[in-house]
Structure 1
Amino acid sequence: MLKNINIMEEGKKILIAAGSAVLLALSLNFFLIPANVFASGFTGIAQILSELIGLSPGILLFLLNVPVAILGWMKVGKSFTLYSFINVAFTTLFLEIIPVTTISNDIILNSVFGGVVGGIGAGLILKFGASSGGVDILALLFARKSDRPLGTYFFIMNAFIVLTSGLMFGMEKALYTLLTLYVLSRIIDILHTRHVKLTAMIVTSKAEELKHAFYQQVTRGVTRIPAKGGYSKEDKEVLMIVITRYELYLLQRIIEEVDPKAFTNVVQTTGVFGMFRKEA
């Protein structure tokens, strides 16, 4: 039974990766590429290189992600990297299949709707424990080597894209690129938390089983706090665990499997001091 559930879960993630890729490809081919406005991350870099050397953005996006996927497989995590790369492969396919089409000549509409559609695509794959590849994996690798937060690397990469768009097409296009990046990030905020660190507090009657599952699959420390149900008067425990946003989907799955009746509250963590494993 567990095997069947896992197969269904993996199949669902592949379908989500494909659906996300369709939205990312539509964002580029219907809105951003016709307006010469750039997306974020490796997608934006692929657009820049496409303008310079003439290859299609889809092929360049795939080529940029191959070495990063190899590093991610070895250093970040196999499941996260695998589904991120599947998403990239689907995005490349759909970028080649879907023709570049001008829907509107209004650059503001193109910038906004490109950000909305791309943000939905990126947020969708993040919600299911993967990413749209490239920058997310690189940021995780760089964060291992320093005390800087992941957000620093996203900011540096996107600042490079905005400045390059300004040099290539003028500062007005750079501002429209900035608008797209803002809209995209806000849409992702709605669909999936972009906070780097999160604190989950789980009220459960199966504290020992959950703690063991967290140690086995999430590899994070857990603090156990005695608690009592206000209405039921039952003795329970609160498990407090700090995770990265990439581990939120996995944590949710574990809780649903071990104790579906558990109450979980997830909050933003503005700072972490002490024993927290940086590499995840």
Structure 2
Amino acid sequence: MMHTLSVKELVKKLAISLCAAFLCAMSMNLFLIPAHVYAAGINGAAQLLSNVLHDWLNFNIPIGLLVLLLNLPIVWLGWFKVGKGFTFFSFVTVFLTSLFLSVLPVYPLSSDIILNSIFGGLISAVGVGIALKYGISTGGLDIIAIYLTRRNRNASSGKYFLILNGIIIILAGAIYEWQFALYTLISRFVNSYVIDMIHTKYQKLTVITITKEKDKMIAAIQDEFDRGMTIIPSYGGFTGTKRYSIMMVISHYELYQMEQLIKRVDPNAFTDILETNKIIGLYHTEEQQKEIQKMKHGESMKNQHLTLSKEDFDHFQQLFKAQAEKKVTDHSPFPNE
């Protein structure tokens, strides 16, 4: 069963969502919007759309409301295709960002467009970086990028971030002046750099946990993540005490959740988290892992062949069938027959 958040953990995540939303809204209303520099992702798209509606159609609609409206179909996609827990906190952050954008005044602290670009990108990056560090998304492009990455396992979510943000910047330059698009690039560079410092720039991470609670750890990981792993028998260098090293590759969105799981199962475990530049070989996405788990537990196999390749589908079908037959044989009162 999926681990349920404690009240303390829930309050902590809601507080992080509140802080991240406030910083993102402050960066827009005090720096980016007055300078006509565009924010990242859906916030930037809402900013651009609001400007177009005002300048071309003389129709005023608050940016905060546009942020909420543009995120609604994305939240629906995330709820059914990415993950309910991840999407819930993403929506909370989006809703609070929309609220703060409507409440905080648009007030320029500086008339220098470069300073506005730098500090706007920096402040929003602090909010986004803190949110990611605690397993929370600020919504919008995060959910779209994760969904597209799951459909194409050979591409990284960073590639989709680049494409989707690039479209917004090009449209801003084409519709208005190209200098604003170039200043937006400066803001995006600062934003990405600070997020990397706070969280991680790597899309994939290798986690190696050395623990004596092997069975409990494996069961918890399979229950909460549906991930495969490699188990390596280990021994303490000084004490000679037997331990087990559990190695797996996760996405950077799963890092906080994995840290909490390890602390919960074995507070004395030693964990090494490595930055993974590239994976050569089979790596199942979260969605594919869930489908494999359904096959393992004999649940409906209606959609597995759509999520998994035919080779994977046939392989796991045969594997679990063989395991089930072996289990029956092991429990037979006549083991020699």
| TM-score interval, normalised by the smaller of the two chains | over 0.9
CA distance in 1, matches of 2:200, 2:21: 20
Question: For residue 267 of structure 2, what is the aligned residue in structure 1?
Answer: 260
Q: Report matched runs for 1:27-46 at 5 Å.
A: 27-46=27-46
Question: For residue 208 of structure 2, what is the aligned residue in structure 1?
Answer: 201
Q: Deviations over 1:40-94 (max 9, x none)?
A: 1111111110101132211111001111101111110010000000000000000
CA distance in 2, matches of 1:200, 1:279: 16
**Does 1:69 find its partner at 2:75?**
yes
CA distance in 2, matches of 1:67, 1:13: 23
Give the drift of 1:4. Answer: 10
Structure number with the bigger relative contact order (C-alpha 8 A, sep ≥ 6) is 1
Give the drift of 1:191. Answer: 1.2
Question: For residue 245 of structure 1, what is the aligned residue in structure 2?
Answer: 252
Length-normalised TM-score, structure 1? 0.95
Secondary structure of 1:225's partner?
strand
Question: For residue 171 of structure 2, what is the aligned residue in structure 1?
Answer: 164
CA distance in 2, matches of 1:124, 1:133: 14
Q: Report matched runs for 1:134-153 at 5 Å.
A: 134-146=140-152, 147-153=154-160
Equivalent residues of 1:143, 1:279 under 8 A apart = no
Equivalent residues of 1:141, 1:279 under 8 A apart = no
Counterpart amino acid of residue 111 in structure 1: S
Counterpart amino acid of residue 171 in structure 1: W
Q: Deviations over 1:148-185 (max 9, x none)?
A: 22111101011112212222332221111001111111
Question: For residue 228 of structure 1, what is the aligned residue in structure 2?
Answer: 235
Give the drift of 1:279. Answer: 4.7
RMSD over aligned CA atoms reads 1.5
Secondary structure of 1:177's partner?
helix
The alignment-based identity, stated in percent, is 41
Give the drift of 1:271. Answer: 2.1
**Does 1:87 find its partner at 2:93?**
yes
**Does 1:219 find its partner at 2:226?**
yes
CA distance in 2, matches of 1:279, 1:4: 19
Q: Deviations over 1:115-167 (max 9, x none)?
A: 11000011111111121101010111112222322111101011112212222
Equivalent residues of 1:218, 1:250 under 8 A apart = no
Length-normalised TM-score, structure 2? 0.80
Give the drift of 1:231. Answer: 2.6
Secondary structure of 2:106's partner?
coil
Secondary structure of 1:133's partner?
coil
Where do 5+ consecutive residues of structure 2 fail to align?
54-59, 288-337
**Does 1:99 find its partner at 2:105?**
yes
CA distance in 2, matches of 1:246, 1:5: 17
Where do 5+ consecutive residues of structure 1 fail to align?
none
**Does 1:59 find its partner at 2:65?**
yes
Secondary structure of 1:236's partner?
strand
Question: For residue 20 of structure 1, what is the aligned residue in structure 2?
Answer: 20
Counterpart amino acid of residue 89 in structure 2: Y
Q: State the structure with more CA Rg.
A: 2
Question: For residue 180 of structure 1, what is the aligned residue in structure 2?
Answer: 187
Counterpart amino acid of residue 108 in structure 1: I
Which stretches of structure 1, 4 residues or longer, exceed 4 Å deviation after superposition?
A: none
Equivalent residues of 1:203, 1:236 under 8 A apart = yes
Secondary structure of 2:208's partner?
strand
Equivalent residues of 2:24, 2:124 under 8 A apart = yes
